[in-house]
């Protein structure tokens, strides 16, 4: 089923192609600014027909990097990027952004990338070690990317994973986890009810899907120029999660927790297992 996939390698990135045409690029050694919490990211990501699906460093939030794995805060270290929120102080630039550093490959093939990643504090302490697997799957009506990450507490002490809803009282701000910053075409102000974000039970629009635990979301769009349509299906393979959605950005995040911080014991691990399907619509 994955015949036709090829891998083009460079010093800082790899590009997965299908029959010679780019599907997605993974930048494992980014050159993004420190205040944006540098991390490996996928961009550009294309539909099977070549339409752009991701946005990198958008002018409203330059720390949104295509498709990338983030955590709002690990023991106060900001791995999402941008200013950090504190109760009574609001958002401020605090110089507390961490970074994710590529630490080597375990496998590198057109259909499967296996990578070691270190999550470091601004002072260089390794807080988390990660085994990351990115697998490409060709489908009859598009293609899919499976993103599986297992993170281990490498600090030798308990680590609190938090977000600004659970830890700071900023209602609705539970953004964390795998983040998809979509191209502007995902904006749904077209007067067409078939476009936009939806979830199980007939839920439609940001107000009905944001923060509601569900195993999947779908986001349908129409592309400028080609006028083709793509449906992006987001699936949490470990069960329902309280999705973070911002229709105006547009952004969807696999927020694995919302209302309470998660404490990762010394040596403990966390599994994040997700699938994104990019389908003709």
- CA 67 from chain centre, in angstroms, equals 4
**Residue-wise pLDDT tens digits, 42-75:** 999 999 999 999 999 999 999 999 999 999 999 9
Structure confidence at residue 98 (pLDDT) = 98
Please report, for the domain that includes residue 128, its CATH number: 2.70.98
Q: Identify the H or E element spanning 196.
A: strand 196-199
Structure confidence at residue 191 (pLDDT) = 78
Section 170-194 average pLDDT = 92
The model's confidence at residue 159, banded by pLDDT at 50, 70 and 90, is: very high
- Report the number of distinct structural domains present in the chain: 1
- The parent domain of residue 18 ranges over 5-280
Chain mean pLDDT for the chain:
97
pLDDT at 188 over 80: no
The model's confidence at residue 186, banded by pLDDT at 50, 70 and 90, is: very high
pLDDT at 189 over 80: no
All residues at 6 or more sequence positions from 142 whose CB lies less than 8 Å from its CB, including other chains = 47, 48, 230, 277, 278, 279, 280
pLDDT at 1 over 70: no
How far apart CA 236 and CA 206 sit, in angstroms, is: 18
Q: HSE, CB side, 13 Å, CA atoms: give it for residue 174.
A: 21
Structure confidence at residue 118 (pLDDT) = 99
Section 155-178 average pLDDT = 97
* Predicted TM-score (pTM) of this structure: 0.97
Section 232-248 average pLDDT = 97
Section 246-254 average pLDDT = 97
Structure confidence at residue 190 (pLDDT) = 72
In 3D space, the residue among 181, 161, 168 whose CA is nearest the CA of residue 257 turns out to be 161
How far apart CA 233 and CA 141 sit, in angstroms, is: 13
């Amino acid at each position: 089923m994955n015949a036709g996939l090829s891998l083009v390698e460079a010093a800082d990135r790899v590009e997965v192609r299908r029959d010679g045409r780019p599907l997605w690029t993974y930048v494992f050694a980014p050159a993004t600014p420190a205040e944006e919490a540098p991390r490996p990211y996928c961009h550009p990501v294309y539909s099977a027909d070549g339409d752009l699906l991701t946005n990198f460093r958008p002018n409203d939030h330059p720390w949104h990097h295509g498709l990338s794995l983030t955590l709002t805060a690990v023991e106060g270290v900001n791995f999402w990027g941008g200013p950090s929120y504190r109760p009574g102080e609001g958002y401020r630039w605090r110089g507390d952004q961490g970074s994710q550093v590529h630490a080597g490959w375990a496998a590198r093939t057109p259909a499967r990338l296996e990578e070691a990643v270190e999550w470091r504090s601004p002072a260089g302490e390794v807080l988390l070690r990660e085994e990351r697997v990115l697998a490409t799957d060709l489908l009859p009506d598009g293609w899919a990317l499976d993103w599986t990450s297992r993170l281990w507490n490498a600090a030798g002490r308990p680590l609190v994973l938090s977000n600004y809803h659970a830890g700071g009282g900023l209602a609705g701000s539970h953004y964390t986890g795998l983040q998809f910053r979509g191209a502007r075409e995902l904006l749904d102000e077209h007067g067409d009810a078939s476009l936009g974000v939806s979830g199980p039970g007939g839920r439609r629009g940001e107000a009905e899907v944001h923060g509601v635990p569900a195993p999947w979301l779908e986001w349908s769009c129409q592309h400028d120029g080609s006028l083709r349509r793509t449906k992006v299906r987001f699936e949490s393979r470990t069960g329902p999660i309280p999705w973070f959605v911002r229709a105006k950005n547009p952004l969807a995040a696999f927020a694995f927790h919302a209302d309470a911080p998660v404490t990762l014991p010394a040596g403990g691990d966390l599994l994040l297992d997700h699938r994104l399907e990019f389908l003709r619509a």
